[in-house]
Amino acid sequence: MASSPRTDLRPRDGKRPSPPAVPRHASFGSWTALLAATTLGVPAANTVRAEVRADTELSAGRAYRLVVQSYDPSDRDAALRGRGRPIGSVQRAVTADEMKRGVHVDLMELRQTAGGTDDVARGNLAKALVLAWVEEGKPDLELDARRARPLPGSLVGTVGREPTQDSVRISVKPGVAG
């Protein structure tokens, strides 16, 4: 006698599939966007997730600081010369091993003007710039590192980000931004 086909959705190994998780950065972005709009009066806020990886070996046992900043397209050239004003920035302590594997950070962007969905659909928004660097030392007392700039000897990387892109990957290496 033939066996009846399986009717439950349980895989053959007996484990139940876990429900899909809501990405942390998605819920973080919507909550902070609401907070920024209602309390700070900032009309445009969103979150960008960045994965930063070092292309160069770092010394194990040393303290490092990772800084990630994003800039509006209009500030792109100024940012590469160290004079731009970031619309988003974050810093954190990292280890050599973390940088080798890749570090994920959520970057909150606060803009004074919003590009509407019509602008995105028409392609009127240019690529924003995301700048990341790693330097020896620990994060300083400035919470978000908005005024920080890469020091000589830092590992630096940049990437352009499309207006609809919510995540980027950046490789940092010796040299200057650009």
What's the pLDDT score for residue 26?
Answer: 40
Instruction: Note the pLDDT tens digit of each residue in 115-172.
Output: 544 444 444 446 789 999 999 998 877 777 888 889 889 999 999 988 788 899 999 9
Least confident of 73-82, 89-98, 166-175: 73-82
Q: Where are the domains of the chain?
A: 47-174
What's the pLDDT score for residue 43?
Answer: 55
Measure the CA–CA gap between 68 and 91, rounded to whole angstroms: 6
135, 144, 134: which is closest to 171 by C-alpha?
Answer: 134
CATH 2.60.40, domain 47-174, yes or no: yes
Strand order in the sheet with 155-161: 88-94, 64-71, 128-136, 155-161, 167-174, 44-54, 103-111
What's the pLDDT score for residue 23?
Answer: 39
What's the pLDDT score for residue 14?
Answer: 57
27, 23, 29, 52: which is closest to 108 by C-alpha?
Answer: 29
Whether 25 has a pLDDT exceeding 60, the answer reads no
103, 80, 91: which is closest to 169 by C-alpha?
Answer: 103
Over residues 68-88, the mean pLDDT reads 86
What's the pLDDT score for residue 28?
Answer: 45
Look up the pTM and report it. 0.70
Band the pLDDT of 176: cuts 50, 70, 90. Answer: low
Measure the CA–CA gap between 27 and 9, rounded to whole angstroms: 29
Bridge partners of 121, per DSSP, are: none
Instruction: Note the pLDDT tens digit of each residue in 32-70.
Output: 555 555 555 555 667 889 999 998 889 999 999 999 999
Instruction: Note the pLDDT tens digit of each residue in 94-121.
Output: 999 999 999 999 988 876 655 544 444 4
